[in-house]
Structure 1
Amino acid sequence: MTKKILSSTASLFLSVSVATGLSYLFTVSQRLTWANFGNDGGDFLSAILTGGIPHPTGYPTYTFLGILFQKIPVGDPYFRATMLSWLPAAIGAGLLALLIKKLLSDKLPSISTPTALLSGLVWGWMPFLWSQAVIIEVHGLQSLFLVLALWWIWILLHGQQRKVKTSSFILLSFCFGLAIGNHITILLFLPAILFALWIACKNGMSRHTVFGQLLAVGLGTLVYLYLPLRAAHYPPINWGNPQSWQGFWWVISGNPYQKLVAATSISQIFTRISALAGLLIQQFGYLGVILGVIGAVQYKHQNRNLPVILVYLFIAFSFFAILYGTDDSITYLLAPFLVFVIWIGLGIANMIPFTWRKIPVGYALLAIYSITVIAAIPGTIQTINPHQQTQPADYAEYLMEHLPENSILLTSEDRDSFPVWYYHFGLQLRPDLAVIVLPLSQFRWYQETLSHIYPGINFPDLISQTSNKSSAWGERVPELNPDRPVCRSTIQKATGNSIYVLCSNGQNYNFVISE
């Protein structure tokens, strides 16, 4: 009997993970891309290849794992970096299917496996998750950590009855600590986890087991030590130079982006709230949304605490995304989408037993929704496929080939800087160049980094304060190096769809970066 259960569990996990993993592998980006909110890909990849520190909050778990993935003897550096997106996302989809099977197995064992299978595929083939699994970004890995956090909550609520091993609690809590090092927004899970721990204590969990889990979370967060340890080597990508406590806090607290929290106006808030329904329809279709609402409202949980936790997670992450003042704040809706997939699974389970005049309406709905999920795949691929969107790679490769020898390249923002970082620092092309990001030259840490990585360049004296809120320091570099050609890249501000590069030797380049 035990072997049969294990075989069924393994088959469910492998079916979902392999199906989604192959889908990701078929559509994964092959060169640097800005598709699917992938603007930070060049920064992440440069940090991975140089052992550096990407933009705040530093993402030490992602960066450290990215370095380890570069040891895998397959593909090129770019492909190995994408593995850290699509492989965890596929594993997470399989684990979610297992979790939904657990949720249903006690109450509805006969339908738990097909419902879990469909729910896992709905999650894995959801357009947003798929879009993140095929680019270099933290959200593919984050999707796995979100599922693991839900697994931890579930065994806290049910572990005493099911005699879960202490090692399972410790492992999942350690993973939560690592998750904090991947994307700090997972801290919104903390109230739910503390509540689940309190319930577990009431149900008889020992204080030693509780303390062990809290200790394991703390041990997981020690991944942040990567930041000061690597910063001491002055890698070329060294945001904040977190060797000091001041620099460390600047990075992990997301200092440059704090002003974006609660930066939306009242009208924008209401617009985004109304748009959330549209996003749910976009991800799951009309039938999926109906099933999700049924699951959230109608399904009778055996554990009354789990629905409260799911509602909290949906609301907390949704409001964070709504209040965060960027165009790509949809990326913070990954957790609400995950909760909604669970509700869809519960809604399917709730409807399957339903019959009308001896017609199995529930099974008909299951079949119809399965067909709609599969039928949506071609449209999803067309929407998220990054294969033709290689403008940042084209731009950087052209510059590496054509920029004048020994030139200084002054860049203006992320989009014209990060791709060049990848080729110049990550792939170590054109060592004769000096790349200076003007907006970053206001920071002392960046000035220190430039002085270390370009010893042959004359730089102004370092500023005394952390930041002087001016790019004047960087603007002075060309005049201190009159023998070097200077090229300046700028984004066309009117439309934002072109990069102009003007060089002092008369060479000019224009790149279309979006249609």
Structure 2
Amino acid sequence: MKEEASTAWNAAPNKIPVWKRLLTPISLGGLAVLVVTQIVYLATLNITCPFWDSGEFIASSHILGVPHPPGTPMYVLIGRLFSLIPIWEVATRVNYLSAISSSVAAVFVYLVTIQFFRRWPGVEEAWETPSENPAAGRFSRIGWGQWMALAAGLVAGFFTAFGRTYWDNAVEAEVYGLSGLVMILTVWMALKWADGVESFRKWSANKHERGDRGGAVSPAQPGMLVLIVYLLFLSIGIHMGTFIVLPAIVLFVAVIDSRTVLNFRFLGSMVVAGLSILLFFILNQQTSIPMALAISLGVYGLVVVFSWKTLGRRNYAFWFFCLGFLGVSVHLYLFIRSHLDPGINEADPSTWEAFWLVLTRDQYKPPNPFIQRQTTFAIQFTKHFWRYAHDQYNLGILPGGLKLYLPYALGLMGVVAHWIREKKGAIFMTVLYLSTSLFLIWYLNFRENEVRDRDYFFVASYQFFAVWIGLGVGELFLTLKDSLNRSTSRFILPVVGVVAVLLSLMPAKAGYFEHDRSKFWIARDYASNMLTPLEPDAILFTNGDNDTFPLWYIQEVEYLRRDIRVVNLSLLQTQWYIRQLRDYEPKVDLGWDDKTIDALRPYIDRDGEVVWVNDICVHRIIDVYYGKRPIYIAVTVPDLRGLKDRLVQEGLVFSVRKPGEGGIDVELTQRNLGEVFSYRGLLDENGKHDDSIYKDETASKLVQNYASGWVGIAHRYVQRGGDEENRRLALEALEKAKNISPTYPGTSYTLGVIYYRMQNYAEAESTFMDLVKQGDGDVQVLRLLGLSQEAQGKNNDALRSYESALNMDPADRESYVNLFQFLVSLDQPRLALDILDRWLRFKPDDAAFLDARRIIVETLDSTGVAHPR
């Protein structure tokens, strides 16, 4: 009976030809989302290498490399295909992968919103209006339900596409656009599966083939679930977080048709599969991955074979396991490719042990959230989630609260309406949102001052909340329709729909400048500027992601300065990287075999300081190669590792010289900064700061290294003497620094010092005061501010500045000296004595202060003023 019903269902004439579907308002609306987002994304697409992981992903895709764990093999393979597109540069092609993925994902957000809205009572019945004319076109039969769904879907799609973080990820090579596409695609597939089940159930009941019992499913429907499982397991090779939607999908399947998952065959197969996986993990602790895998799969296969009629035949749980395993198998790319020694081969997963550590992200494991909370959940929610979430849908209008929270008000309306009108879908959406927001907050377990704090960790939650924003608009439509009479609603509802869609497009206008990367050359030029001036066959030490990944990109993709060996100090803590330095061209051979490298460990030196593995390697490299190959250290390296007196600045790098030669090579630095370096996106054609290009926090900080070079030159001119020529050259250097980075505090500080030495105390005071107001007033700035005010006779202001310096750093000796001398000049020996005593509590053996105290005490004794002895 079930087979007959299924056959009749499949033969039922209820399906619309594909070409006709493309002429429906819903299809045209999806096309509109695709076209509009593609136009905006292409206009704002980064055409070259950005900062952060994008440079590594572009380079890895181009050369089929192995990026940082967990290796993202599926992304690299798809990125490689995009890198072969016969237009644009390689970087643009791989960046476009994110753009097209994000656009298609926005289309599926649109479709998912429509699917949820269509499940609400009354909407499906009003999808089309009956027509007495059989020849009437589809558009003439469109009901209010379809128009409302169209508007709700457009709102959700556009709010997703132009959300702050989502748009960031859409214009540069990142995994989150493709990951988000798989997430929302599988959610849409689950909804289509549910529609098929419920439609077949209704059809079956109407035909009296299953009565009111329901529960029959179309034979095509389990295939949809199998495909969902396959895509989610495959997408682990894009980003592990993609898999997080699976529990919500399983719960939704159980809610829609419990017998799909709550039956003996399915549960029995899942138990067998689970035990096989558990067996694999147990065996993996004792033997190699292939052996553990072979045994566990063998056990699973034997159980299935001997219980085929019960657990195997027509049991799609078996296919879940098989296709899930097939999807995960894409990670074998890492093991295979690593053996071919690509230029980027992070963690070197060429052994089964290393391969397993990459798969489990051993390098980036968060602390166990069950054992220890890093800080309170309230701090984790507000600082690491809500700080980014609250302005995702910025409308760019006043007042400020309205532009940020109006979308959230619509979203909350959608949440409430969803639970009231259709609880099964509401359960699905709620679990999706909580899984990608609150659960992630709990699982990631960030510290209060987390260095890996990123907005894109929660981008899926912003995507899913946009669905609720769309449903909120749908609820607004339904409320107005029920509240207004027919004639009024026919006028008001279209207006509300147009306004709602325009509202969802407002973030595109508000965020366009911030997201326009079409002329963002800063990261690429930074890498080029760092490498170009170096001597041939150089060794360059870099610090972290942003002074390394762009260099990898420019060497592997643009083939620029491949003679230079970039040595990343963070990776230099690992044995695999030290071996790669020894074995990969251009080689840095430290004379160590594998046994010696594996034995490297941190230790504590005689001064009680920890000497890390990378410290050992840095000094070894200098010992082996100094005088044989040029050695440089990037200015971004914070710890100079005891080499300060040997480092000479030459622009964006320090060259390692003989001990005692440290400083700045003014001529070479000036030539590099002024003649060699490229400043596209930083300076306009007149050499002034280019305000037409947006610089985010990362770019703004890194370009300060250019400004720092000019400031160093200015300092050297100031040190040469106070004559007019040196002052002129110093001011010219500072002007160039300010053009590159107007907010760099070092520029203003040096300018204030020059004004002070020129005895232009008013300008000096103004300059130092500006630094204080913008939050860059350190102790030295406050002291110089006080000196400038004192020189003008502004005694009260000077006293406040000196006191502020003392309060900021009570252990700063110079602040006590300045304040003491100031009080003496005001003939305030009693107060001056108090300042001396405050310092002597820190340093009771300071001879100079003790002598000054003796003199002050003698002065007070001679005048008969009481004072502490």
**Structures share fold, TM-score greater than 0.5:** yes
Report the alpha carbon displacement of residue 403 of structure 1 after superposing the two structures with TM: 1.1
Q: 1:331 aligns with which of 456, 467, 473?
A: 456
CA distance in 2, matches of 1:293, 1:466: 56
- Report the 3-state secondary structure (helix = DSSP H, G, I; strand = E; otherwise coil) of the residue aligned with 2:598: coil
Query: Normalized against structure 2, the TM-score is what?
Result: 0.54
Q: For 1:410, what is the secondary structure of its paired residue?
A: strand
Equivalent of residue 429 in structure 2, options 294, 302, 310: 310
Matched letter for residue 33 of structure 1:
P
**Alignment of 1:74 onto 2:111:** no
Aligned to 1:271: 382
In structure 2, list runs of 5 or more residues that go unmatched. Answer: 1-14, 128-144, 200-217, 267-314, 396-402, 603-611, 640-649, 658-664, 678-701, 705-740, 742-869
Distance in 2 of aligned mates of 1:311 and 1:467: 48
Normalised to the residue count of structure 1, the TM-score between the two structures is 0.89
Structure 1 distance, partners of 2:57, 2:47, is 15
Residue 115 of structure 1 corresponds to which residue in structure 2? Answer: 152
- Looking at structure 2, the residues matched to 282 and 290 of structure 1 have their Cα atoms a distance apart, in angstroms, of 13
* Structure with more contact order per residue of length (Cα contacts < 8 Å, sep ≥ 6): 1
1:118: how far off?
2.7
Equivalent residue letter for 1:265: T
In 1, the alpha carbon distance for the partners of 2:559 and 2:338 equals 19
Counterpart selection for 2:632 from 481, 487, 512: 487
Q: Is contact 2:197–2:221 with CA below 8 Å preserved after alignment?
A: no
Which has the larger Rg?
2
Q: Cα offset for 1:276?
A: 5.9
Q: Residue 528 of structure 2 aligns to which amino acid in structure 1?
A: E
Moved more, 270-279 or 419-428: 270-279
Cα deviation for residue 74 of structure 1 reads 1.6
After TM superposition, the structure 1 = structure 2 runs for residues 227-246 of structure 1, keeping only pairs within 5 Å, are 227-246=334-353
Q: Is the deviation greater in 347-356 or in 148-157? A: 148-157
1:252 matched to 2:363? The reply is no
Quote the Cα distance in structure 2 between the aligned partners of 1:214 and 1:12.
Answer: 37
1:39-188 → structure 2 map (5 Å cutoff): 39-107=52-120, 108=123, 109=127, 110=145, 111-162=148-199, 163=218, 165-188=221-244
> In the TM superposition, what is the alpha-carbon distance from 1:413 to its structure 2 partner?
1.5
Shift of 1:91: 1.0
How far residue 93 of structure 1 moved from its aligned partner, in angstroms, is 1.1
1:236–1:300 CA distance, 2 compared to 1 (3 A): same
Preserved contact between residue 542 and residue 636 of structure 2 (Cα < 8 Å): no
Distance 1:62 1:367 in 2: 38
Give how far 1:374 is off.
2.5
Alignment partner of 1:7 out of 23, 26, 37: 23
Higher mean displacement: 190-199 or 19-28: 190-199
Q: How does 1:217-228 map to 2 (within 5 A)?
A: 217-228=324-335
Change (3 A) 1:276 1:136: closer
Which range moves more in the overlay, 46-55 or 500-509? 500-509
1:242-261 CA deviation, whole Å, 9 max, x = no partner? 12232123222222222467
SS at match of 2:463: helix
Give, as a single letter, the amino acid of the residue that structure 1 aligns with 2:330. V
Match of 2:554 in 1: 423
Alpha-carbon distance in 2 for matches of 1:153, 1:209: 15
Change (3 A) 1:375 1:427: same
C-alpha distance in structure 1 between counterparts of 2:33 and 2:255, whole Å:
32
| Helix, strand or coil at the partner of 2:437 | helix
Supply the distance in 2 between the matched residues of 1:400 and 1:83 (Cα, whole angstroms).
27
CA distance in 2, matches of 1:401, 1:274: 42
Structure 1 segments unaligned to the other structure (5+ residues)? none
- Deviations along 1:130-186, one digit per CA (max 9) or x if unpaired, are 111001111111221121231243245444224454443333322212221111122
Contact 2:47 2:519 in 1 (8 A): no
SS of aligned partner of 1:75: coil
Find the counterpart in structure 2 of residue 341 from structure 1.
Answer: 466
Task: Return closer, same or farther for 1:405/1:332 CA change in 2, 3 Å cut-off.
Answer: same
Structure 2 matches for 1:247-396, cutoff 5 A?
A: 247-259=354-366, 264-266=374-376, 268-272=379-383, 275=387, 278-280=390-392, 282=394, 285-299=404-418, 304-319=423-438, 320-321=440-441, 323-324=445-446, 325-326=450-451, 328-355=453-480, 356=483, 358=485, 359-360=488-489, 364-396=495-527
The alpha-carbon deviation at position 299 of structure 1 amounts to 2.6
Taking the aligned partners of 1:309 and 1:415, their CA distance within structure 2 comes to: 39
- Of residues 222-231 and 184-193 in structure 1, the stretch that sits farther from structure 2 once superposed is 184-193
Stretches (4+) displaced over 6 A = none
User: Identity percentage over the alignment?
Assistant: 23
Q: Which stretch of the first structure deviates more once superposed, 6-15 or 134-143?
A: 6-15
Whole-Å separation in 2 of the counterparts to 1:493 and 1:473: 17
Report what 2:754 is aligned to: none
**Per-residue deviation at 1:327?**
5.3
Q: Which has the larger displacement, 469-478 or 223-232?
A: 469-478
Question: Residues 40 and 88 (structure 1 numbering): CA distance in 2 closer, same or farther, change over 3 Å?
Answer: same
> Could you give the per-residue CA deviations for residues 339-383 of structure 1, whole angstroms, max 9, x where no partner exists?
211111211111102235545466554333322222332221112
Q: Distance in 2 between matches of 1:385 and 1:202?
A: 48
Q: Give, in angstroms, the shift of residue 199 of structure 1.
A: 4.3
Q: CA RMSD in A?
A: 3.0
Mapped partners of 1:152, 1:326: distance in 2:
37
Task: Count matched residues.
Answer: 508
Does the 8 Å CA contact 2:110/2:153 hold for their aligned counterparts? yes
Q: Which amino acid aligns with 1:411?
A: T
DSSP-derived class of the 1:447 partner: helix
Which letter does structure 2 place at the counterpart of 1:175?
Answer: L
CA 371–13 in structure 1, closer or farther in 2 if over 3 Å, else same: closer
CA contact (8 A) 1:408 1:478 kept: no
Would the aligned equivalents of 2:389 and 2:462 in 1 still touch at CA under 8 Å? no
Distance 1:10 1:353, change over 3 A: closer
Question: In structure 1, what residue type is equivalent to 2:379?
Answer: Q
Name the counterpart of 1:503.
655
What amino acid is aligned across from residue 271 of structure 1 in structure 2? T
